[in-house]
Amino acid sequence: MFFIKLVIRNAFRHRLRTCLTIAGVAIAILAFGMLRTLVGLWYVGVESSSASRLITRNAISLIFPLPIAYAERIRQVPGVKTVSYGDWFGGIYIDEKHFFASYAIEPERYLDLYPEFILTREEREAFVRDRKGCVVGKKLADKYGWKIGDLITLKGTIYPGQWEFALRGIYRGKDKGTEERVLMFHWDYLNEVLKKTVPARADQVGYYIIGVTDPARAAEVALDVDRTFKNSLAETMTETERAFQLGFVAMTEAIMIAIQIVSYVVIVIIMVVAANTMAMTARERIPEYATLKTLGFGTEHIAAIVFGESVFISLLGGVLGVLLTFPASHWIETELAQYFPYFSVSRATIYIDLATACGIGAVAALFPTWRGATIRIADGLRRIG
């Protein structure tokens, strides 16, 4: 009890210095938590993707199409329940700054395969019936103020021309991680226009989506599908949706690794600041430590006082940082919704934040503790200032 009191009293002797240190640690913990969440978001597409859906694409790379005739042959592969297909459209709305994902899809079975896109029955039927219809996610509709029945015009980058769609439905995501910034329209519409303008590019799809009867056999089915098209003009590459997404993420991994490294750098920076503070504090109090030793306190007591003070201060900073994390992430979620549709800090991040704060305090205290504890009484008392 006496020690705790001493530690707290000591911590607030230099009120300004302690407050500055606490603020420093709080900012570092805040930044660390935010960066960790940001890196986690990068992988959110992977986590929300299903392991029971397979994606089949051209083996050369994603930019090469597959013939539409493959749909029937894939359906005959044992273990395949549903097959649907789509194509990355890559249309531009207004200008490049307003970019969002757009796909040409085969509507009925596609929506069956993606139960996480929630549409009302009427909206779904209206979309399936209207060849020039499209559906968009709620976030996208909110951003541009679209209402059902509106006409949306996209400029094609891969398929040239102006493409007009009538909005037939606005879907909501089943959970927070579901992408709600996508526009989907009928592949048939795209194909019919292509048949007239560029017949060579018609009757081709970008990828197939396969629903399997038994998720446990997904790997087997994938191999079977690829074997079917081996040594054909368009060989296929089939993998689970999760692996497919992971491949995408891996392509930009270098940047994520950089952000991760940077998030550790911020911890090191603040460790240096805290170590500096503790070194100064210990230097000023050397005569006191000598006095305490004279009174009969042992080395371990002095060590506990210095160490405890350091951990106490940085833990205070850590708690403050964690408390600030919530309003900060809320702010990002509302103000930067365009880039981060959802930004929620996980429980694990908070625990890691607090552990890191303790770590900062412990490392910062190492040198001063050793110095305070090993000082010889006579030397300590002789020292001035």
Binding site for another protein (CB under 8 A): 16-17, 20-21, 23-24, 27-28, 30-31, 35, 59-64, 90, 92, 96, 155-158, 160, 200, 231, 233, 235, 237, 247, 250-255, 258-259, 262, 265-266, 268-270, 272-273, 275-277, 279-280, 284, 385
Residue with Cβ nearer another protein (116 or 288): 288
Residue 94 or 262 with smaller CB distance to another protein: 262
Residue recorded with tokens 């001493």 = 6
Q: Which two tokens stand for residue 111?
A: 């929506």
3-class SS shares of the chain: helix, strand, coil, % to 5:
60, 15, 25
Compare residues 69 and 200 and give the one whose CB is closer to another protein: 200
Least CB distance from residue 12 to another protein, whole Å? 15
Burial track 53-74 (b if 16+ CB lie within 10 A, e otherwise): bbbbbbbeeeeebbebebbeeb
End-to-end CA distance of the chain: 29
| Segment holding 103, helix H or strand E | strand 101-105
Work out how close the CB of 21 gets to another protein at its nearest, in angstroms, rounded to a whole number: 7
Residue 8 CA to residue 11 CA, distance in Å, equals 5
- The single residue listed with the structure tokens 């009302």 is 120
To the nearest 10 degrees (0 to 180), the angle between helices 286-294 and 253-284 is: 60
Looking at beta carbons only, is 1 or 251 nearer to another protein? Answer: 251
- 217 closest CA partner among 49, 52, 74: 52
- Do 208 and 74 touch, CB atoms closer than 8 A? yes
CB of 84 to another protein, least distance (A): 23
**Cβ atoms < 10 Å from Cβ of 323:** 13
Structure tokens at 21: 């240190």
Nearer to another protein (CB atom), residue 220 or residue 235: 235
Distance in Å, CB of 119 to another protein, minimum: 29
Q: Are 360 and 267 spatial neighbours (Cβ–Cβ below 8 Å)?
A: yes
| Residue 248: closest CA among 84, 45, 74 | 45
Contact 89, 168 (CB under 8 A): no
Element holding 377 (H helix, E strand):
helix 377-382
Q: In the bound complex, what is the minimum distance in angstroms from residue 375's beta carbon to another protein?
A: 16
Kindly state the smallest distance separating residue 325's Cβ from another protein, in Å. Answer: 13
Please say which residue, 6 or 19, places its beta carbon nearer to another protein. 19
Closer Cβ to another protein, 82 or 291, answer by number: 291
Kindly tell me the number of DSSP H helices and DSSP E strands found in the chain. Answer: 15, 13
Kindly state the smallest distance separating residue 156's Cβ from another protein, in Å.
Answer: 7
- Of 7 and 154, the one with the shorter C-beta distance to another protein is 154
Nearer to another protein, 27 or 118 (CB): 27
Minimum CB separation from another protein for residue 127, in Å? 27
d(CA 122, CA 84) in angstroms, rounded, equals 21
Q: How far is the CB of 145 from another protein (least distance, A)?
A: 25
